[in-house]
Structure 1
Amino acid sequence: MHILSIVSGVLALVLAVFWAGVGISGLSGRLERNRWFGVRSEETMRSAEAFALGNKVAAPGFLAAALVLLIGGVLAFGGDLGFLFGFGGVIAAFVIAAVAAGVGVRVAATVPEPEEESGGCSADCCSSGTDEQHADDPAADCGTASCGSCALQGMCTTEHAAEPTQPADAAH
């Protein structure tokens, strides 16, 4: 048996196990939002609901890719030209998985954006004062009784806090 046949067969079988695991996890809803496995795009990563839905829709395609890989991997051990089945299965499976992921992304895009939680802060970044007081300088309350959302957004850095407050039209 040719070494390329063995390599392509093993590669196809390992990828079959991987795609089967991702497909089963996505279909059953056990695949939690992460940065390594499943359909990961801007649309799916914006909420746990979008991630779960996108991966659930893509899961049958992932399982089909796993099946193609399994068949290609087994046929790769069939002789000197078996590597064509192994590598052909890998290529076909990646095409199937890419199409399935694309469908998952499109479905995840239909999930509404999650509402931002303010954590008790007002909608204008800083909780002390009025909107008019923060119109010119949103970091005007740095160091005062604020919820800290400005500091979390980098508004209360040492450089910014040291700058004198200027009217918005005088800054240019």
Structure 2
Amino acid sequence: MEKKSFTFDEIKLKLVNYCVYQDRCHAEVEQKMREFLLIDEAKDEIILYLLKENYLNEERFTRSYIRGKFYIKHWGKNKIRIHLKQKQVSDKLISSCFDEIDEEDYEKMIKKIYDDYYSKQKGLKEYQKKSKTIKYLMSRGFEYEKINDTFGET
């Protein structure tokens, strides 16, 4: 299949729309740019334009990603951090954006997932149900210490 060729302005518009549709990180935009045969100078110019016009904003992307993955997908901080690192977002930025998650909501989420999952465990001894449930929470990206703290109160 032959690649359709676009003018610089068409490519720029396509990338603006790509960023407008949903917040993107630099890595995603660079990946998308690989679809178009652009010289480095053109890529740099588009990235600078997207940044200057605020279509591309790594902090906004990170904050919206954290909110979505926690409040909608119910992921813990470890899993969110790993996925953001795969998108080449810096540790410093990730850490500074975790204030998007309310601590109280985080503990409530741990309790809710724990109770839901725990109640589905049938025919197991108490300690087995508990250990399976903790493993499950950890696989969702919740920190072991945090899980323990949440249940140290009960």
Give the TM-score taking structure 1 as reference length.
0.28
Report which of the two has the higher share of helix.
2
Larger Rg: 1
Give the alignment's TM-score, normalised by structure 2: 0.31
